[in-house]
Structure 1
Amino acid sequence: MEKLAEYLKIKTAPRAKSENLVYCDNLRFTILTEKIIRIEYDTDLNFVDQASQLVWYRNLAEVDFKIKKTKEKLIIETNQLKLNYLRNKKTLNSKNLTIKVKDSAEIWHYGEGNQQNFKGTHRTLDGIDGAISLEEGLLSKSGWTIIDDSNSLLFTESGWLEKRSNNSDYCDLYFLAYGTQYKSILQDFSKLTGEIPLIPRWALGNWWSRYWEYSAQDLKELMLEFKKRKLPLSVCVIDMDWHQVKNDYTTGWTGYTWNKNLFPQPIKFINWLHQQGLKTALNLHPADGVYPHEKQYSAMAKSLGINPASKQAINFDLSKIDFINAYFKFLHHPLEEQDGIDFWWLDWQQGDQSGLTGLDPLWGLNHLHYYDLGRENKKRSFIFSRWSGLGSHRYPIGFSGDTVVSWDSLKFQPYFTTTAANVLYSWWSHDIGGHCMGTEDPELYLRWLQFGVFSPIMRLHSTKDDFLDRRPWAHGAEILKIARFYLQLRHQLIPYLYTHSYLANQTAVSLLRPIYYEDQSPAAFAVPDQYFLGSELIVAPFLEPTDQTTSLSKQTIWLPAGDWFNFFDGQSYKGASWHNVYGSLAEVPVIAKAGAIVPLGAASKFGSTDNPVELELNIFPGADNSFELYEDDGAAINPAAARTKFNSNWKPKQLKFTIEKLSGNADVIPAERRIKLKFKAVKNAEVKLYTDGKATKIKGDYNLQNNCLCLEIDYQPTSRYEVVLTNQSGLLKKKDISLSKIKRIIKNFKLETVVKTELFKAVKKARQRDSEVDFLNRFCSVLSNSQLEVLIALLYDAGTAQIKTAEFNNLVIFQGKLSELNYNFSSALLAAGHHKAQVNNTSAKTNPNKLIDLNQLKADKWNLTVNFTKFIQHRYSSD
């Protein structure tokens, strides 16, 4: 029997330690961690110790657990769970096998499904216009999850797969008990299944891709146009027309031979891309096999015992190890080693037949291609393909498929991408701008691009259609200007993003993660449009068209407890609160936590993703924090690494910020580095710098408009730096909505100029004297609903929104919250002619929908939420 090539054989440790095994009747229990227990049932006692497609590692550390075994029952108890089994050799049922989750006090009964699952992800978004249901994930509000691995294939000594030989009554279950310890269980799961790989640094830059018959010259001219317009890229993907399409044997989707009409000198072209700093991939559709028109056919046929003269097809068949070995040796290795292809886009979409019963061909290709690319440890393993089920986190990056161009499609993608963290699938790549059909719209294009910048992989792409265009300059000068800012910002963010790629590898927590990973308040489970981008930032992209009367987009966000700041302008937000945020086309809600430390690179050169010579640290006040920057060469399998730790120690009148001596290999970073420190949302301060404990001269540059103090340091990795900012009147500058911002917003309103002038005068009076709020009454008849809503939100931090949870299709009504409804606000409502509002009374035992006279609210000072939709709809009413 032929053996799989050695480099394709994975190293597993599937046999658990005997100390962690418990046998009872027809059952074997494996206590894998204090949170995970494996349950096997087989009347023949034929338990499985091979690695499965999903679980590769069971030889984990010994677990501290208690066991009590009698003739009647078995009890297994760890710090996190308690299993009870009433002994019965005949069968398992809901009465004789239960597990209690200690953290949540929930009890699982055998056979019980989980109705509170937070979901995971989905194979593809091909043809999807809006939301779809997702597969089950690893996390649930119940605090437990059950994984059924009974039917997955097993790895053999040959290095490939076979079906299980167990009886039909065999079951192989994994019970995960975690309560609210969401991040912890993800890490435990990765111990069983494998880590999230560290992706190449260059993959975090901007990608260009399009389904189009580009020639080498076309792509050269296009890349040079991006460069000329200062739009950085790091990857140029070549779609399927790189190979011969028209032939006498196949539909043309499958192919391995260069189309010399389009690429007369492919090696020269690939070298040119590399000289520009760009990596490249070729698109693959392997389903049709290999036919005589392919350049590689003759050599491959001979290796498989086929006479080339017979012109017999070489069928795609993953059940045959000799085919697998030849598939890589003849079809892919020459294109990589001779032509210079960096990775493969596995655009599998032709079915479910692999030749091996039970094997999804997509899973087989993902697994094999991932390990093939990293053969002989020459470069970091990497593929670009679709999700093939639980365990696919081992094969980044994901291609989400051919979405319809629509606002509904865009609106679904933040939730879809973030929720994938629940199955460790960190690295989704979407067709930014949408793939096909729908309606092309410059605003939609820009909002999608902005989301792409704050998503795992930023890849512009569309289908073959003259009227779909992903080039930023194709949508007008304003769109180009804004797109340039964000595409450059994407490359500047790479130090931060790459550090979190490393952290994902170490902790199994994805770059994009749901808010409920950090905050378990009810609101945190009802915000599908927002997410944590790493440890320091919350992003809530604008996902709906600009309002026609305000020229603003709106997003509703929930911020966990603590102080928060707009990343760009330092505006402060109160935590444990809802906020309606409004912005122009150029703005995206990116919110930094108190104490956040966000490293950026300098403005990017076209194809550069290297560790930056100039490093900019964005530092926010309000809390202690630390951040360790991770850097390596960006591509090696076992790279030398450098770690630089930043610490921020906060007191109301003083902030101490330290840059610790570099640990690891200093050769990884540039020989000369300059660090710019940008202290945001602070007052001007006395500044002291200590280098290795000695006072050093430093001059600060304070920007009063942005409340930002800038310092620069000529950095030496062997030195320790301490910067001390002091202001005896208090250092924190909580930037409220400034009059200049309100003026800019009113300027964008669709209103007569004279009305804008009078409105702004009234706003200034209202801000100068809190009791002056009657301007709402004066302007009520000329302000649109949206204009009135924006003014209320900006002046009183209140508003209304409807939040649609994508998975369950429910509508959650958010009422803009005031921690204590004050006299000014109730007066504002009254001045607008509305004397009653629907409220949720959170302190009194009354009907939550009772109509309450707002005149009474002034004295009661209730904690409540006001339904501003009611208010706006009835603002003309006098009842």
Structure 2
Amino acid sequence: MPHPLLLRRLRAVHATPDATEVSLEVDALRGVQLGIMPGWLTGEPPLEQGIETQMPNLPTLELPDADVTPYTLRVSAPTPSVLRLTVAPAGHPVLEDDGTGMGIVVDPAPDATALAVEEVEGEVVVSTGEARLRVGRAPFSLAVEDATGRPVLRSAHRLRQVAGLMTAPTVVADDAGLTLNLEIAPGEDVLGFGEQFGRLAKQGQRLVLRSEDACGTGTGLAYKPVPVWHSSVGYSAFVNTGAVLTADVGHERPSVLGLTVADEVLDLYLVVGGTPKERLTEYTALTGRGEVPPLWAFGYWMGRCRYHDRPEMLEVADTMRRHEVPLDVLHLDPDWLVVDRLNCDFIWNETRFGDRRAFVEALAERGVRLSVWELPYLDPVSPRFAEAEEKGYLVRHTDGTLAGIRKTPTPDGRMRALVDFTNPEARAWWQEMHEPFLADGVAVFKTDFGEALPDDVALFDGTPPQYAHNLYPLVYNRTVSDVIGRATGRAPLVWGRSGWAGSHRYPGQWGGDAESTVAGMQATVRGGLSYAVSAPGLWSHDIGGFFGPELTPGLYVRWTQLGAFSPLMRAHGLRPREPWAFGDEALDAARHWVRLRYAMLPTLWQVAHESLAHGWPVLRPLGLEFPDDPVAQSVDDVFMVGSDLLVVPVFDDGTAPVRRRFYVPAGTWRELDGEGSFTGPGFHEVEVRLDEMPVLVRAGAVLPRVEVGPDVRSTDDLVDRPWTLHAYGDVAEGPRRFVGFDGSPVELGLDGAVRHG
């Protein structure tokens, strides 16, 4: 682009005959900056720009030419409360796209709504009845109101520096891409943007949304960024793109949310009004929802990088039984491959693990299922590399040369090629290699990596290079999820590290390679909460962290407690994560919390069904359940599981009792299994021993549980066991309806319920 352009004047308005789409012609003018002070100038008369011409030290202003470049703002309403705003150069192909072109939106118009258009002096008003867009004529500006007429969003065009120069024009197009500047209202909290490991409320942060091999949770990078955010003022938003998006949330300019898409177009969906949960329902109506995986997925998973052979893994399963710790899944990292260093070619290592079906059956005899690692890269020394290259299954650069992974180092210096999942034949080839594993009883695949696609690639389906990198994790996980569903006939489950918008359709995901420190645990919780409001569904983490200083027994227990109330529960790391590896005290505590997890599975099962049916996360920040509580919006050291459970992780790596201060929202809250009671809103402080973690229940809740003793080996032992209702505080009488473990409805009365308080 020869020079920056600022969208400045609304010139004309056109509506389709059925009023489902409105196109607004906008004049873009050249913009310049003085260089000696912040602010923008165009070729418009100074007074029209708001310049303070009486400033005594105003420098001489050389205005640029006022030549016009035509742009278009297209407005539609996929539902009554969702406005789609597409900004692009006039005639750009995106203006004809129904929204599904990126593969993120799956239903472009769940409830397409006609638009009412009113042209008045100074602005054009486009309305659905539930959402209203006001477009300023000159200067071009945007403002959005909810059904009551309350403003929820406004472009930052009003903001100036001392000489009156614009500091945040509504839309700027330059070499960086297209930037939309929004005004941050007083007291407004902004949350989201995917799995970000910093503070939940993003004020003051500058986030670059590009899926990266983050090498931990403390590097400032993200495995699963998502261009979705929520404002406490009353809207949620989604940029439908694969391009890198930079979100400056009051970092450079304190009152500006600047959104820069590394593209020449902006495809923005605004969900207006309602609660955050209702807005997530609207968002997932557009982008799809996942399915509830089988019950065993909610049991305890155990892994290590690495188990080296069959006897070692069987011994782990047997030792879990000897210590009477329930276990449902054992995970096998890359040692199952013959060529296993950043390579996956599905050639099973019989030397280490023997016959695959026999190995799966040996685990099954112990009540355990097998999870298997994979990544989408191929080593040139693999016997399958030549076949993949010859058939055109590998990603190539725009110059036709074979592409190799970037930023993720290889142990031998050789390149690693990437499978091109946009090629239907390559996708089928990859899926076919999964089928024998699934036929032998492999339960789940850990879809590791996927963040290393180079920028200058020519994918088979023609996906433009600027979109390819961030969309690659989406098509990778979709490929594996689809074959699992097709081959097993059940709800599929992957365990994915990389992600982008839409990845929530393919549960589950985990928080990547956290450090085995208190800081790593804290970052993990923050990442999960941030991901929850951006990609709602099933998310988890590696209990104990993946790498770093030697994991202490105290931190292992504290992380296990966190895992017991996470959507999925898996222990994994570079070194042993089995509970007996940390001493008898840690073993006793871990056993208790794993058993409590199994006892609470009837409740977790209800939350999972409710969440995935409505497009909500299982693990939720307080603000999602208490949107009118200004304190709850930014709390990121506790979380909700569903609507009734408040979990207070203990961030400590010692074994001595510690004091824990935490926030409780409005209402009365009772201890899950104790006698304590807490009233909110307000902060409370308690002392917790190593074997304790505060778990509170909202008064009035009724939670189903199942009895778990030493005889429970896995979820298979729970399927036919009766449930007991636990009632907290004063509860309404009458039967309660639940979803049974077999998916059928269950009705239980309160007779015989365990009463708490």
Same fold per superposition (TM over 0.5): yes
CA pair 504-438 structure 1, distance change in 2 beyond 3 A? same
2:140 to 84, 95, 98: 95
SS in 2 for 1:53: coil
1:121 to 185, 191, 195: 195
CA pair 186-448 structure 1, distance change in 2 beyond 3 A? same
Is the 2:517–2:545 contact (alpha carbons within 8 Å) kept by the matching residues of 1? yes
CA pair 499-385 structure 1, distance change in 2 beyond 3 A? same
SS in 2 for 1:562: strand
Q: Which moved more, 1:230-239 or 1:65-74?
A: 65-74
CA pair 628-546 structure 1, distance change in 2 beyond 3 A? farther
Q: Distance in 2 between matches of 1:445 and 1:17?
A: 63
Structure 2 match to 1:401: 512
CA pair 114-442 structure 1, distance change in 2 beyond 3 A? farther
Q: Distance in 2 between matches of 1:204 and 1:192?
A: 27
Q: Distance in 2 between matches of 1:245 and 1:362?
A: 23
Q: Distance in 2 between matches of 1:101 and 1:231?
A: 52
SS in 2 for 1:495: helix
2:551 to 440, 447, 453: 440
CA pair 413-298 structure 1, distance change in 2 beyond 3 A? closer
Q: How many residues align?
A: 593
Residues 418-463 of structure 1: CA deviation (Å, up to 9, x unaligned): 2322113332221101111213211111111111101111111111
Once the two structures are superposed, the pairs formed by residues 808-827 of structure 1 within 5 Å of their partners are none
CA pair 133-80 structure 1, distance change in 2 beyond 3 A? farther
Q: Distance in 1 between matches of 2:114 and 2:390?
A: 57
Q: Distance in 2 between matches of 1:507 and 1:269?
A: 39
Residues 336-368 of structure 1: CA deviation (Å, up to 9, x unaligned): 22x322221111157114752332332221121
Residues 810-854 of structure 1: CA deviation (Å, up to 9, x unaligned): xxxxxxxxxxxxxxxxxxxxxxxxxxxxxxxxxxxxxxxxxxxxx
Residues 8-33 of structure 1: CA deviation (Å, up to 9, x unaligned): xxxxxxxx995633344444321122
Q: CA deviation at 1:65?
A: 5.6
Once the two structures are superposed, the pairs formed by residues 688-727 of structure 1 within 5 Å of their partners are none
Structure 1 match to 2:740: 631
Is the 1:199–1:501 contact (alpha carbons within 8 Å) kept by the matching residues of 2? no
Instruction: Give the aligned CA root-mean-square deviation in angstroms.
Output: 3.2
Structure 2 match to 1:332: 434
Residues 74-116 of structure 1: CA deviation (Å, up to 9, x unaligned): 312234432122458xxxxx63433234565334224224654
Q: Distance in 2 between matches of 1:278 and 1:493?
A: 20
Q: Which residue identity is paired with 2:756?
A: K
SS in 2 for 1:578: strand
CA pair 414-151 structure 1, distance change in 2 beyond 3 A? closer
Is the 2:326–2:713 contact (alpha carbons within 8 Å) kept by the matching residues of 1? yes
Structure 2 match to 1:458: 569
Structure 2 match to 1:274: 364
Residues 170-189 of structure 1: CA deviation (Å, up to 9, x unaligned): 432212223x6111100000
Structure 1 match to 2:639: 531
Is the 1:602–1:612 contact (alpha carbons within 8 Å) kept by the matching residues of 2? no
SS in 2 for 1:237: strand
**What TM-score do you get using the length of structure 2 for normalisation?**
0.72
Q: Distance in 2 between matches of 1:335 and 1:241?
A: 15
Q: Which residue identity is paired with 1:446?
A: V
CA pair 100-170 structure 1, distance change in 2 beyond 3 A? same
Q: Which residue identity is paired with 2:98?
A: D
Q: Is 1:229 aligned with 2:330?
A: no
SS in 1 for 2:476: helix
SS in 1 for 2:697: strand
Q: Distance in 2 between matches of 1:620 and 1:305?
A: 57
Matched-pair identity in %: 22
SS in 1 for 2:478: helix
Q: Distance in 2 between matches of 1:423 and 1:447?
A: 26
Q: Distance in 2 between matches of 1:352 and 1:680?
A: 53
SS in 2 for 1:370: helix
Q: Distance in 2 between matches of 1:292 and 1:387?
A: 24
Structure 1 match to 2:483: 372
Q: CA deviation at 1:565?
A: 0.8
CA pair 483-619 structure 1, distance change in 2 beyond 3 A? same
Structure 1 match to 2:468: 359
Judging by fraction of residues, say which structure has more strand. Answer: 2
Q: Distance in 1 between matches of 2:453 and 2:87?
A: 30
Q: Is 1:199 aligned with 2:293?
A: yes
CA pair 17-333 structure 1, distance change in 2 beyond 3 A? farther
> Structure 1: which 5+ residue stretches go unaligned?
1-15, 89-93, 154-166, 307-312, 634-640, 647-657, 660-674, 682-879
Q: Looking at both structures, which has the greater relative contact order when contacts are Cα pairs under 8 Å and sequence separation is at least 6? A: 2
Q: Distance in 2 between matches of 1:482 and 1:336?
A: 35
Is the 2:217–2:512 contact (alpha carbons within 8 Å) kept by the matching residues of 1? no
CA pair 80-398 structure 1, distance change in 2 beyond 3 A? same
Q: Which residue identity is paired with 1:99?
A: V
Q: Is 1:67 aligned with 2:117?
A: yes
Structure 1 match to 2:12: none
Is the 1:392–1:425 contact (alpha carbons within 8 Å) kept by the matching residues of 2? no
Q: Is 1:505 aligned with 2:579?
A: no
SS in 1 for 2:500: coil
Q: Distance in 2 between matches of 1:58 and 1:304?
A: 32
Q: Is 1:177 aligned with 2:177?
A: no
Q: CA deviation at 1:564?
A: 1.4
Q: Is 1:345 aligned with 2:446?
A: yes
2:350 to 231, 243, 260: 260
Q: CA deviation at 1:225?
A: 0.9
Q: Which residue identity is paired with 2:601?
A: I
Q: Distance in 2 between matches of 1:479 and 1:303?
A: 53
2:753 to 650, 671, 677: 677
**What TM-score do you get using the length of structure 1 for normalisation?**
0.62
1:28 to 74, 99, 122: 74
Q: Distance in 1 between matches of 2:752 and 2:653?
A: 37
1:569 to 674, 680, 699: 674
SS in 2 for 1:481: helix
Q: CA deviation at 1:151?
A: 5.3
Q: CA deviation at 1:644?
A: 2.9
Q: Is 1:477 aligned with 2:584?
A: yes
Structure 2 match to 1:726: none
Q: Distance in 1 between matches of 2:445 and 2:230?
A: 32
CA pair 85-126 structure 1, distance change in 2 beyond 3 A? closer
Q: Distance in 1 between matches of 2:422 and 2:103?
A: 15
CA pair 47-451 structure 1, distance change in 2 beyond 3 A? same
CA pair 138-17 structure 1, distance change in 2 beyond 3 A? farther
2:96 to 28, 47, 50: 47
Q: Which residue identity is paired with 1:595?
A: G
Q: Which residue identity is paired with 1:578?
A: F
Q: Distance in 2 between matches of 1:131 and 1:171?
A: 29
Structure 2 match to 1:815: none
CA pair 18-57 structure 1, distance change in 2 beyond 3 A? farther
CA pair 50-147 structure 1, distance change in 2 beyond 3 A? closer
Q: Distance in 2 between matches of 1:403 and 1:561?
A: 33
Q: CA deviation at 1:507?
A: 1.4
Q: Distance in 2 between matches of 1:305 and 1:79?
A: 49
Is the 2:558–2:650 contact (alpha carbons within 8 Å) kept by the matching residues of 1? yes
SS in 1 for 2:291: coil
Q: Which residue identity is paired with 1:629?
A: F
Q: Which residue identity is paired with 1:556?
A: R
Structure 2 match to 1:652: none
CA pair 204-315 structure 1, distance change in 2 beyond 3 A? closer
Q: Is 1:112 aligned with 2:112?
A: no
Structure 2 match to 1:215: 309
Once the two structures are superposed, the pairs formed by residues 380-419 of structure 1 within 5 Å of their partners are 380-419=491-530
CA pair 627-531 structure 1, distance change in 2 beyond 3 A? farther
Residues 155-194 of structure 1: CA deviation (Å, up to 9, x unaligned): xxxxxxxxxxxx985432212223x611110000011110
Instruction: Tell me which structure has the larger Cα radius of gyration.
Output: 1
Structure 1 match to 2:174: none
Q: Distance in 1 between matches of 2:732 and 2:330?
A: 41
CA pair 522-269 structure 1, distance change in 2 beyond 3 A? same
Is the 2:117–2:126 contact (alpha carbons within 8 Å) kept by the matching residues of 1? yes
CA pair 237-415 structure 1, distance change in 2 beyond 3 A? same
Is the 1:32–1:63 contact (alpha carbons within 8 Å) kept by the matching residues of 2? yes
1:557 to 662, 665, 681: 662
Residues 253-309 of structure 1: CA deviation (Å, up to 9, x unaligned): 334211122112221011122233322221112212675535xx7987897799xxx
